[in-house]
Amino acid sequence: MIYSNKEELLNCAMFCYNKLRLTSEVIITEKSLDVNGYCYEDGSIEINEELTLNDRLLTLCHEFVHCAQYERGATACEKEAYKLEGELYNEYKSTIHNVVDELPHA
Protein backbone atom coordinates (compact mmCIF):
# COMPACT_ATOMS: atom_id res chain seq x y z
CA MET A 1 0.00 0.00 0.00
CA ILE A 2 1.26 3.46 -0.91
CA TYR A 3 0.19 6.76 0.63
CA SER A 4 1.22 10.24 -0.51
CA ASN A 5 0.28 13.85 0.16
CA LYS A 6 0.89 14.61 -3.56
CA GLU A 7 -1.14 12.87 -6.24
CA GLU A 8 1.40 13.68 -8.96
CA LEU A 9 3.85 11.25 -7.33
CA LEU A 10 1.46 8.31 -6.99
CA ASN A 11 1.76 6.88 -10.51
CA CYS A 12 5.54 6.81 -10.34
CA ALA A 13 5.38 5.44 -6.79
CA MET A 14 3.08 2.60 -7.87
CA PHE A 15 5.38 1.85 -10.82
CA CYS A 16 8.46 1.62 -8.55
CA TYR A 17 6.58 -0.33 -5.87
CA ASN A 18 5.50 -2.97 -8.40
CA LYS A 19 8.77 -3.04 -10.36
CA LEU A 20 10.79 -3.57 -7.17
CA ARG A 21 8.20 -6.08 -5.91
CA LEU A 22 7.72 -4.36 -2.58
CA THR A 23 5.16 -5.62 -0.10
CA SER A 24 5.55 -3.22 2.84
CA GLU A 25 3.59 -0.02 3.32
CA VAL A 26 5.24 3.11 1.90
CA ILE A 27 4.28 6.63 2.97
CA ILE A 28 5.51 9.50 0.78
CA THR A 29 5.56 13.09 1.96
CA GLU A 30 6.67 16.19 0.11
CA LYS A 31 8.20 18.82 2.34
CA SER A 32 11.00 21.35 2.50
CA LEU A 33 14.32 19.51 2.97
CA ASP A 34 18.05 20.26 2.88
CA VAL A 35 18.52 17.26 0.55
CA ASN A 36 16.60 15.89 -2.44
CA GLY A 37 15.00 13.09 -0.48
CA TYR A 38 15.25 10.62 2.33
CA CYS A 39 14.03 7.09 3.00
CA TYR A 40 13.55 5.77 6.52
CA GLU A 41 13.77 2.09 7.42
CA ASP A 42 10.03 2.06 8.22
CA GLY A 43 9.20 2.79 4.57
CA SER A 44 8.60 6.50 4.96
CA ILE A 45 9.93 8.60 2.08
CA GLU A 46 10.38 12.36 2.13
CA ILE A 47 10.85 14.29 -1.12
CA ASN A 48 12.01 17.90 -1.32
CA GLU A 49 8.98 19.88 -2.51
CA GLU A 50 11.21 22.59 -4.00
CA LEU A 51 12.54 20.31 -6.76
CA THR A 52 11.15 20.29 -10.29
CA LEU A 53 8.65 17.55 -11.08
CA ASN A 54 11.29 15.58 -13.01
CA ASP A 55 13.75 15.83 -10.12
CA ARG A 56 11.07 14.83 -7.61
CA LEU A 57 10.24 11.75 -9.70
CA LEU A 58 13.92 10.83 -10.08
CA THR A 59 14.43 11.27 -6.35
CA LEU A 60 11.36 9.14 -5.68
CA CYS A 61 12.84 6.34 -7.80
CA HIS A 62 16.10 6.64 -5.85
CA GLU A 63 14.35 6.47 -2.48
CA PHE A 64 12.26 3.48 -3.58
CA VAL A 65 15.50 1.58 -4.19
CA HIS A 66 16.32 2.23 -0.53
CA CYS A 67 12.86 0.92 0.45
CA ALA A 68 13.65 -2.29 -1.44
CA GLN A 69 17.02 -2.53 0.29
CA TYR A 70 15.44 -2.14 3.72
CA GLU A 71 12.71 -4.65 2.88
CA ARG A 72 15.44 -7.17 1.96
CA GLY A 73 17.08 -6.53 5.33
CA ALA A 74 20.03 -4.75 3.75
CA THR A 75 21.45 -1.37 4.63
CA ALA A 76 21.07 1.61 2.30
CA CYS A 77 23.53 1.39 -0.58
CA GLU A 78 23.92 4.61 -2.53
CA LYS A 79 25.81 2.90 -5.37
CA GLU A 80 22.83 0.64 -6.12
CA ALA A 81 20.32 3.47 -5.63
CA TYR A 82 22.12 5.76 -8.09
CA LYS A 83 22.46 2.93 -10.61
CA LEU A 84 18.79 1.93 -10.48
CA GLU A 85 17.20 5.38 -10.13
CA GLY A 86 17.86 6.26 -13.77
CA GLU A 87 16.71 2.87 -15.00
CA LEU A 88 13.45 3.12 -13.04
CA TYR A 89 12.90 6.75 -14.03
CA ASN A 90 13.50 6.15 -17.74
CA GLU A 91 11.30 3.06 -17.79
CA TYR A 92 8.54 4.92 -15.95
CA LYS A 93 8.95 7.88 -18.26
CA SER A 94 8.53 5.67 -21.31
CA THR A 95 5.03 4.80 -20.01
CA ILE A 96 3.85 8.41 -19.73
CA HIS A 97 3.90 11.58 -21.81
CA ASN A 98 4.18 14.44 -19.32
CA VAL A 99 7.80 13.98 -18.23
CA VAL A 100 10.55 15.22 -20.52
CA ASP A 101 14.34 15.28 -20.78
CA GLU A 102 15.62 11.71 -20.62
CA LEU A 103 18.50 11.17 -18.26
CA PRO A 104 21.78 10.16 -19.84
CA HIS A 105 22.71 6.52 -19.35
CA ALA A 106 25.58 6.00 -16.94
Handedness of CA 103, 94, 84, 22 (dihedral sign): positive
CATH number for the segment(s) 2-93: 3.30.2010.10
The 10s digit of each residue's pLDDT in 14-50 is 999 999 999 999 999 999 999 999 999 999 999 999 9
Top pLDDT among 31 and 1 is at: 31
Beta-carbon contacts of 38 under 8 Å, excluding residues fewer than 6 positions away, are: 45, 46, 63
What's the predicted TM-score (pTM) here?
0.88
| Identity of the amino acid at 11 | N
| DSSP H helical ranges for 1-106 | 10-19, 53-71, 78-93
